[in-house]
Amino acid sequence: MRKKGRIKYILVIFICFSIFTYGFIKVNITKTKGERQKSKFTIDLKYKPFDLRIETKDYAFYVNNKVLDDMKAKCRDVYDEVISK
């Protein structure tokens, strides 16, 4: 009985966290360029070509097509090595 109660609370917390994160990302993506330059934290998202940038005052995190293609190639190489053994 107690596990069902815990699962419900965890689900509600997860949903609230997801809504908060979605709103935070949506607000950051829709800022104008002037607001982005003044901000210490920005998120940029472009779909074609795919490019996700999360920038803070000192650090930047990039995910783009090249990174995704490299990850795909490395995963394929590891998979081939495991299968061949």
54-85 residue pLDDT tens: 888 888 888 888 887 888 899 999 988 888 87
Is residue 16 pLDDT above 90, yes or no?
yes
Q: Which strand ranges, in their side-by-side order, compose the sheet holding 42-46?
A: 42-46, 51-55, 60-64
Alpha helices for the chain (secondary structure H): 2-29, 33-38, 65-84
Angstrom distance (rounded) from CA 59 to CA 54: 8
**pLDDT (0 to 100) of residue 2:** 66
Quick one: DSSP state of residue 41? S
**pLDDT (0 to 100) of residue 53:** 84
pTM of the model: 0.53
Boundaries of domain holding 79: 2-84
Are 36 and 45 in contact, with CB atoms under 8 Å apart? no
Count of domains forming the chain? 1
The stretch 16-34 carries a mean pLDDT of 84
Confidence of residue 42 (pLDDT cuts 50, 70, 90): confident
Angstrom distance (rounded) from CA 29 to CA 45: 7
